[in-house]
Amino acid sequence: MSSPFLFDVGDEIETPDGKVGMIVSRTEELFGNISYKVLFEGLEFVVLREAQMPLKITDATVSAARDGR
């Protein structure tokens, strides 16, 4: 796995409870932000990593994507 700051397409990412997903795309945004499209439990959703902050995906993130929020 990469650092919590930078991921590449194909890298795995893990929630605090051990569920594993995969980065399927990465887009550089303004001001050093990066948006990642993530595949988790059959769901694809986009998360934003703000500049100088680690990317965090929690169970709540996965649940919100599943519920369409």
Place of tokens 């649940």: 63
Helix (H) or strand (E) holding 29: none
The contacts of residue 54 (CB under 8 Å, 6+ apart) are 3, 4, 5
| Residue 13 pLDDT grade (very low, low, confident, very high; cuts 50, 70, 90) | confident
pLDDT tens-digit map of 41-62: 888 888 878 767 767 777 677 7
pLDDT at 5: 66
Where would I find the H helices in 1-69?
59-67
Phi, psi of 40 (to 5 degrees): -135, 125
